Structure 1
Amino acid sequence: MSSLIVLPSRTDAFSAYQPSKNAHTDFISAVDLGRGGSSSGSKDGVKTVKLSVTVKPTSRPQSNLLNDLLASIPAILSGKSTDLSYHTLSHTCHTLVLQPHSLGSSLYYRIKEELEKSASGVVREWRGSIMSKQEGWLNRLVEGWKSWEKRVDLLSAIFVYLDRVYSNSNNGIASIKELSISIFRKSIWDNEIISEKTRSDVLAWSTKERESEQPLEDIRPTIKSTSKLSKLLGTFDQSISKSYLQHTTEHYCSNAEYYLNQVEQDGDEKMKPGKYIEWVLEKVIEEKERAIACLSNEVSEQAVTVVRKEAGEKVANRIIRKALDECMDELDIAALTRLYTFSTDINSFPLLVTSLEDHLEARLKTLISNPENDAQMIDGTLKMKRFSDKAITGLFEISSSLDNVISEDSEVKDVFAVEEDEKNEKELAENKRIKRNRQFELEEASRVGFKKGLGSRQNAPAEWIAKHLDLAMRKGPSLSDSEFNSHLDEIIALIGFTKDKDVFKAFYSTQLAKRLLLGRSASDDMERNMIAKLQKEMGEEFTSGDIMMKDLTLSETLVKSYQSVQAKDPEQYKDAGNFTANVLTESAWPAYPLLKDGWNFTLPPNLQSSIDLFTSWYSTQHKNRQLSWRFQLSTVTLTARFPASGNTKYEIGVSLFQAVVLLLFNDEDTLDFKSIQSRTGIETQELIRTLQSLALGRKGTRVLLKKPPGKEVKPTDIFAWNKGFTSERIKFKINGIQQDMSAEESKKTNEQVHIDRVSVLEATIVRIMKGKKKLSLQLLIDNVVSDVVKRFPPDVKEIKKRVESLIEREFLMRDEEERGMLHYLA
């Protein structure tokens, strides 16, 4: 673009101008050439213009500018006002750091020097206050830093061009701010007296909070500011964190030892183990909150680790077993939950598993070892097992799945959100896996503990489990069928824990037979259900129960046939009475002995006639079969009247032996013991039990009187018909003592089990050798043990005895060259 005004390259328009000495005070005087004006001193009529121009002041020397700038630094750092404005100072800095001056190095060195001088003054002041033991050191430190930081920020703002041109990361030189932090750290924070005082005051705060067991809200802001300053200075880990964690370690090491001594001692000051566990868990929460609020998340995690290690992991073997014993003894699920959390937090879960196993074993050994506890043995064991199962299950309730954090309506999914979801799902799956494994370990520990405990006494647990089951089957469900089935499952679980399963089978079979024959079972359906459960758990060897049930069904059909014959020919069977019999297969039922030693049992004629008629009829139905009567299982229903009861006719359910004794009193009002025995032929001990049940039974069943009074029946006692007998019930039973398994019967059953074991061992040895033909003694023993261990714990010495017996009876023979090798003889 061309210019609107074209100026000549040369002109003499200003030739008359002569600058004066005071040119800076002159003003331009424009001559109005248009009006033809002329200036003085014009020559030859030439028009001239006279100008008055303000002359630019001459620049100050560089040294003066530098001195002004340097003089301002001490004033700024001391918080005083400067002679020049901040704008002027900043402009001067700008001028000096740029070309051609380039005085950045000089300025930076002087600033560093002044910062060090200022720091030295602060150190002297603060050391004096510390030495004079003035209170509130941390507040003074924090406020002093804030004042220092404020002045340094002002200095940085004024010398901003120095940081931009000279002291920057490109040049590898620290900025004024970074320089001030470095100088504060080296000169002030790292001062031995100051650093020690700061550290001791922080630790004193933590000690005070721990002792008061509550946060000190008035001090915490100062601690938080001190931590923030330490982090800014880059000394947090060494100056505060390390000391704090070391102090925390010492605190919990000593406190844990103190409380554990209280746990382990006896007396009024004794501390319960569960209280110690609760204390540790509370301190974990407390330390975590304190460190997060005032120090850092990292210190929080480290402090929690310290508490768990010093008060948990290092002393786990001194507290976990005691705490577990307390939880189990007091049936405290909440305390057990805390103990589980404690053990997993301190990486001592295996110790909890071992403790549970040992506790159950020890408790059961204590319970089982004393014969006086036999009656309560199974109730106590079941109570323990219910709590153990409930507690273990409660510890591992599966938590609900994570919420879906990605909206289903979103068309575009955030990749990071998807990855986070996948990560959470993996963590959840891993946590579930860990929980399942832990649950399995505790359940297995429970099983092993019960198995070891119940195996600590031979035969007795299996016997009493059978007796407990017998009582349950007699009573039946008290609440609901489902609860009753659960109770049966608990009993079966105990059977699985016992080694002497053959003992249980022997007692169970005997008691099942009594329940079925005496009509004492609450329900035949429940009996069948129990038999099915046992077969599933224990194997087909429990099929004898099925055979018993089938025998009774066939017997009912047989009796109905007999009653039908009676109805068709009443005259022939007029003396048969209301008679029923259970005709059983002898091999399917327990071995009930005949009445032999000490017995001369005689039935009254009316009862004997009933048996004779039935026997005669049965022989016509089954010519090749012979009946063998077991009177000890028979029952009779009597009708009776007593003078005191008027015309009331009672129906009394009694055993056959009780009935035979009571029928004697139709002819005699009083009989002595010897007379009763001679007329009935009942064995002495059985007669004593029978008379006890009739004269000394529960109230409302004492139909006989004993003289002299007393709890024991003696051969010199006299018995009389109780004419004053009354009862609120028209129908009642007099329970015979012989209906419950006596100590003698228990002894005989155990003896029979031992005999059966010998037979089982021999049969197993013969079966194995028949298959192998040739086998070493050691391998034979191993095979026998693995074969019979499911039924009973085999004794190696007994196996060797059976081998020797079989060799003597020529079932086996030793190898002539190798004595340890056995051969089967066909």
Structure 2
Amino acid sequence: MLAIPTDGPLTRAFARSTTSTTSSTASAHEHPLSSWLKKASAASPGITATTSSTPTLVINAKAAPVLKPSYTQQNLALVSRSLRAILSPVNANTATHTHSYEQLYTIVESLVHVCKAGAELYEKVGMEIERGSVEFARVLRDEIGQAQGGADAQGSEQWLGGLKKAWDGWAERSNIVQSILAPLDSGFTYKQRSVNFQPSQEILLDSFRHSVIDDVEIRAKILQSVTAIVEQERSAPSSSSGPSYKSLHSPVLALLVRMQAYPDLEAAVLTATQSYYEVEAARLVSDSSAVEAVISAASIESYLAHTQRRIDEETLRGQWLLEPTSNGKQRMVEITRDELIKKKAEWLTTGLPALLQEDKPPLVSLSLLYKHLDSVKHIKPLTTIFFDHILKVGSAIVSPPSAAVLAKLSKPPKTDADKETLRVGLAEEETMIERLISFKTKIDVTVDGAFASRDEFLQRRTEGFEKVVNSRTGGGKVAELCAKYLDAKLKSGNRTMSDEELEKCLDEALALFRYTHAKDMFEEFYKRHFAKRLLLNRSASSDAEQSMLLKLKEECGAGFTQGLETMLKDITLSDEMMKGYATQQDKLKADTQGEGGDDFDLNVNVLTQAHWPTYPIVEVSIPATMAAALERFRTFYSARNSGRKLHWAHSLSTCVLKGTFPKCGEKELHVSEFQAIVLLLFNGLSQGEKLSYESIREQTGLEESELKRTLQSLACGQIPTRVLRKDPQGREVHDTDLFYFNESLKNERHRIRINQIQMKETVEEQEQTESKVLLDRGLVLQAAAVRILKARKQLKHAELLQDVVDAIKARFQVDVGEIKKTFEILIEKEYMERVEGERGVYRYLA
């Protein structure tokens, strides 16, 4: 594009020349503009440069110049005709002039400085410039009419090309006209101009602006053409019009900026952008809703990817389509985002659950969803949907329909249907923690990887899982199953996973433990499982046990793990004690030449009763050799610890028996004490001889439930571990059953472990543990209230209530009604009293 110079070659040349009227065009030296004007005249189509003479200007050095009477009018008309020819939009215009540009410059100079006709010349120049710009506008309007279907991108691009060509032509002609009129601009501007006088450059620009750019039809066509091309590019980004138009748009944009028409262009582009994406967004959402009744993850992912692509396109498009210094680029992207995101934010938000339900969270799409909704200030509704999703999925894991059925079952179940329901429900509970950890891991990955660990999502995640975990029995069920899950991992330990994987499992379970309000329930169940792992020597790794204790101490304080640490200490002291006992037995055997001492290896764990779980005392008739060994240890222990009495916990005892089977040879059987007592009854029986249920019960002295469990494990377990056979066969043990030695046992392993029954917690044991925790809670509440009131002497009801809640919230949470009942109990026990005359005030009683 040719720009009109404010300081062109003619202007610079004129500035170096003199304007004195004493100069003569017949000077011996050539005028400084002669060479440039001759070249310009020769190069201008339709304008013929001649050497014909002009009206003679006679200069007298001593007197004023004498002009012919018609000189001024003739030259004014000549300049007008010449300007008309120069400014004509048609190159082949027959209206030519017979003077060169240099001659025209000289004539203008004489009219201004000699004839003093600057005002008249200025008026005629304005008329011719206006005439020329009007002709340019007419040509462009004719092209609009000729362009049938010009609304398409190709026709619009051609017409804008014509506009650029017209502007280039006008700019080229303006340079020539401005140079010719330089004497008028310089002489008349500064000496004789009126208030309304404008330099030729401004007149040329204003006239083109007024006649062409401000023309209603042309202005509308410019805006319509640009928006049509842009819409075509949006609809078909790969079309050939895009790249070619970018090079054309630059001069068109510069023209509109110079003609002060850019605001209209920006407004038109922004309006078209809004209309286009409003329609597109409605179409995309409508298409998705027509195909799917429920929003799918694929629909949301496709929409988000499309939206991001559109925003990227508009960002790049704004860099060449709109003025760099304006905020139009940002507004175009904002409008795109408003139409595709803000107005569809509710629809997008409801698609979050579909994305989260994927097996592997689509982090890219989730990140786009978060970024887009954040850009339109729609994060709060997203966190609400996020929270609701956690509640819905988490509650389905923690409180499935089977949970309500299990709560209504009679215990123990009586019918086969109830037993099957119980079996299915317990199997579902066994996987609850794993499924809950898997779900939480998915949520954690989403929050950290897609939601940038934003505080709002972190808070809603905590609130959601806390509500889920405590939705069933106040958190007691999750606490119980969490302890059971940790027990399973610490028993299998590094035999099935690396140390790093085991630590990860412990940390994941601990994360769920943090949410539960029933930490005392977890503590009790964990203690029971921990005790069995120690006593039955089932811990896979002592390092893992110590690591878990440290984690619990950091989480809940030293008081929480004090009892567990004492249990470990008891096992260590017992090991040292058994070394002393073994030394004594070896000495006894040596002194009696092998007739004294134990006939088998005996190992006893002496437990501090206050720190270990309570176990029921089960009466059982043990073989004479076992009884004698236990009595010898009792004597040894009493000698070292006078005043202490031992109580044998036979239900936790284990034995290793050696048995010979016809088809698989000698085997080492790892069994419980009860199982060992039953198996020893079959020694000495003839081949095929059977023992009845009643006979076994009389010889062992075991209660019915314990005996049936024991016989079931020996005769109804997995085939490779059925060391006994039952007649008739079946999964249940009945009073009329007969049992006999399994001579057809086959098992490739030398060691056969059958004492798994000891590791499993029965329904009765589970209920007893829960009852104990609930009973202990009442005692904890009483102790907390007495301790607080003793320190404060006198307190109002609300203050004491709040202090008690704060004191016990680290272990469990209870209803306010339970705390009020505790106050009534303490008043009855005379630990506190109500203050007379002061309502709602308690006083401690010493």
- TM-score computed with the length of structure 1 as normaliser: 0.82
What is the distance in 2 between the residues matched to 1:617 and 1:254? 93
1:451–1:549 CA distance, 2 compared to 1 (3 A): same
Per-residue CA distance 1:279-321 (angstroms, 9 max, x = gap)? 2111110111122133344432211111222222343343235
Per-residue CA distance 1:746-775 (angstroms, 9 max, x = gap)? 222222111111111111111111112211
1:171-182 aligned within 5 A = 173-182=197-206
Q: Which residue of the partner structure matches residue 258 of structure 1?
A: 283
Q: Which residue of the partner structure matches residue 67 of structure 1?
A: 77
Indicate yes or no: 2:537 matched with 1:519: yes
Once the two structures are TM-superposed, the CA of residue 506 in structure 1 deviates from its matched residue by 0.9
Once the two structures are TM-superposed, the CA of residue 573 in structure 1 deviates from its matched residue by 4.2
1:144–1:672 CA distance, 2 compared to 1 (3 A): farther
Contact 2:80 2:128 in 1 (8 A): no
Q: Which residue of the partner structure matches residue 448 of structure 1?
A: 463
Aligned mate of 2:674, from 653, 657, 664: 657
Per-residue CA distance 1:28-64 (angstroms, 9 max, x = gap)? xxxxxxxxxxxxxxxxxxxxxxxxxx99796552222
1:86–1:333 CA distance, 2 compared to 1 (3 A): same
Q: Secondary structure at the match of 1:453?
A: helix
Q: Which residue of the partner structure matches residue 160 of structure 1?
A: 182
Q: CA RMSD in A?
A: 2.9
Q: Secondary structure at the match of 1:700?
A: helix
1:207–1:673 CA distance, 2 compared to 1 (3 A): farther
1:512–1:234 CA distance, 2 compared to 1 (3 A): same
Question: Rg larger in 1 or in 2?
Answer: 1
Q: Which residue of the partner structure matches residue 718 of structure 1?
A: 738
Letter in 1 for 2:166: G
1:317-336 aligned within 5 A = 317-320=346-349, 322-323=351-352, 325-327=354-356, 329=358, 330-336=360-366
Runs of at least 5 residues in structure 1 that lack an aligned partner in the other structure: 1-23, 25-53, 397-434
Indicate yes or no: 2:268 matched with 1:246: no
Runs of at least 5 residues in structure 2 that lack an aligned partner in the other structure: 1-25, 27-56, 61-65, 404-424
Aligned mate of 1:694, from 711, 714, 731: 714
Once the two structures are overlaid, the 10-residue window that deviates more, 653-662 or 567-576, is: 567-576
Letter in 2 for 1:71: R
Once the two structures are TM-superposed, the CA of residue 77 in structure 1 deviates from its matched residue by 0.8
Indicate yes or no: 2:800 matched with 1:780: yes
Once the two structures are TM-superposed, the CA of residue 450 in structure 1 deviates from its matched residue by 2.5
Q: Which residue of the partner structure matches residue 236 of structure 1?
A: 262
Q: Which residue of the partner structure matches residue 272 of structure 1?
A: 299
Letter in 2 for 1:331: P
What is the distance in 2 between the residues matched to 1:325 and 1:268? 9
1:744–1:154 CA distance, 2 compared to 1 (3 A): farther
Q: Which residue of the partner structure matches residue 514 of structure 2?
A: 496
Once the two structures are TM-superposed, the CA of residue 801 in structure 1 deviates from its matched residue by 0.9
Once the two structures are overlaid, the 10-residue window that deviates more, 439-448 or 59-68, is: 439-448
1:676-755 aligned within 5 A = 676-755=696-775
1:800–1:259 CA distance, 2 compared to 1 (3 A): farther
Q: Which residue of the partner structure matches residue 364 of structure 1?
A: 394
1:707–1:786 CA distance, 2 compared to 1 (3 A): same
Aligned mate of 1:628, from 647, 670, 675: 647
1:123–1:552 CA distance, 2 compared to 1 (3 A): same
Q: Which residue of the partner structure matches residue 412 of structure 1?
A: none
1:770–1:225 CA distance, 2 compared to 1 (3 A): same
What is the distance in 2 between the residues matched to 1:325 and 1:382? 20
What is the distance in 2 between the residues matched to 1:171 and 1:516? 108
Aligned mate of 1:465, from 479, 482, 486: 482
1:333–1:687 CA distance, 2 compared to 1 (3 A): farther
1:244-393 aligned within 5 A = 244-262=269-287, 266-267=292-293, 272-297=299-324, 298-320=327-349, 322-323=351-352, 325-327=354-356, 329=358, 330-370=360-400, 371=403, 372=425, 373-393=428-448
Q: Which residue of the partner structure matches residue 35 of structure 2?
A: none
1:506–1:286 CA distance, 2 compared to 1 (3 A): same
Q: Secondary structure at the match of 1:476?
A: helix
Q: Secondary structure at the match of 2:85?
A: helix
1:261–1:666 CA distance, 2 compared to 1 (3 A): farther
Contact 1:689 1:736 in 2 (8 A): no
Q: Which residue of the partner structure matches residue 211 of structure 1?
A: 235
Aligned mate of 1:559, from 565, 570, 578: 578
What is the distance in 1 between the residues matched to 2:187 and 2:754? 116
What is the distance in 1 between the residues matched to 2:677 and 2:196? 120
What is the distance in 1 between the residues matched to 2:642 and 2:800? 47
Once the two structures are overlaid, the 10-residue window that deviates more, 804-813 or 154-163, is: 154-163
Letter in 1 for 2:609: E
Q: Which residue of the partner structure matches residue 124 of structure 1?
A: 138
Per-residue CA distance 1:357-400 (angstroms, 9 max, x = gap)? 4433433222211145422222223223334444544469xxxx
What is the distance in 1 between the residues matched to 2:332 and 2:574? 79
What is the distance in 2 between the residues matched to 1:115 and 1:673? 126
Once the two structures are overlaid, the 10-residue window that deviates more, 635-644 or 694-703, is: 694-703
Letter in 2 for 1:311: L
Once the two structures are TM-superposed, the CA of residue 497 in structure 1 deviates from its matched residue by 1.9
Q: Secondary structure at the match of 2:243?
A: coil
Q: Secondary structure at the match of 1:569?
A: helix
Contact 2:270 2:335 in 1 (8 A): yes
1:91–1:717 CA distance, 2 compared to 1 (3 A): farther
What is the distance in 1 between the residues matched to 2:808 and 2:132? 93
Once the two structures are overlaid, the 10-residue window that deviates more, 313-322 or 556-565, is: 313-322
Contact 1:221 1:294 in 2 (8 A): no
Q: Secondary structure at the match of 1:217?
A: helix
What is the distance in 1 between the residues matched to 2:197 and 2:378? 53
Once the two structures are TM-superposed, the CA of residue 511 in structure 1 deviates from its matched residue by 0.7
Aligned mate of 1:111, from 125, 131, 139: 125
What is the distance in 2 between the residues matched to 1:381 and 1:268? 25
Q: Which residue of the partner structure matches residue 590 of structure 1?
A: 613
Contact 1:320 1:352 in 2 (8 A): yes
Number of aligned pairs? 726
Once the two structures are TM-superposed, the CA of residue 562 in structure 1 deviates from its matched residue by 1.2
Aligned mate of 2:107, from 75, 88, 92: 92
Contact 2:482 2:522 in 1 (8 A): yes
Once the two structures are overlaid, the 10-residue window that deviates more, 537-546 or 201-210, is: 201-210
Letter in 2 for 1:73: L
What is the distance in 1 between the residues matched to 2:575 and 2:728? 45
1:702–1:105 CA distance, 2 compared to 1 (3 A): farther
1:639–1:772 CA distance, 2 compared to 1 (3 A): same
Contact 1:120 1:187 in 2 (8 A): yes
Once the two structures are overlaid, the 10-residue window that deviates more, 532-541 or 675-684, is: 675-684
Contact 2:58 2:67 in 1 (8 A): no
Letter in 2 for 1:367: I
Per-residue CA distance 1:648-700 (angstroms, 9 max, x = gap)? 21111011121122222224442333333333233333333323322233342
Q: Which residue of the partner structure matches residue 840 of structure 2?
A: 820
Q: Secondary structure at the match of 1:638?
A: strand
Percent identity over the alignment?
A: 32
1:254–1:803 CA distance, 2 compared to 1 (3 A): farther
Once the two structures are TM-superposed, the CA of residue 519 in structure 1 deviates from its matched residue by 0.5
1:501–1:259 CA distance, 2 compared to 1 (3 A): farther
Once the two structures are TM-superposed, the CA of residue 800 in structure 1 deviates from its matched residue by 0.7
Letter in 1 for 2:253: S
Contact 1:576 1:609 in 2 (8 A): no
Once the two structures are TM-superposed, the CA of residue 66 in structure 1 deviates from its matched residue by 1.9
Contact 1:76 1:82 in 2 (8 A): no
Contact 1:274 1:323 in 2 (8 A): no
Per-residue CA distance 1:127-165 (angstroms, 9 max, x = gap)? 344345434233333322222332223222322333344
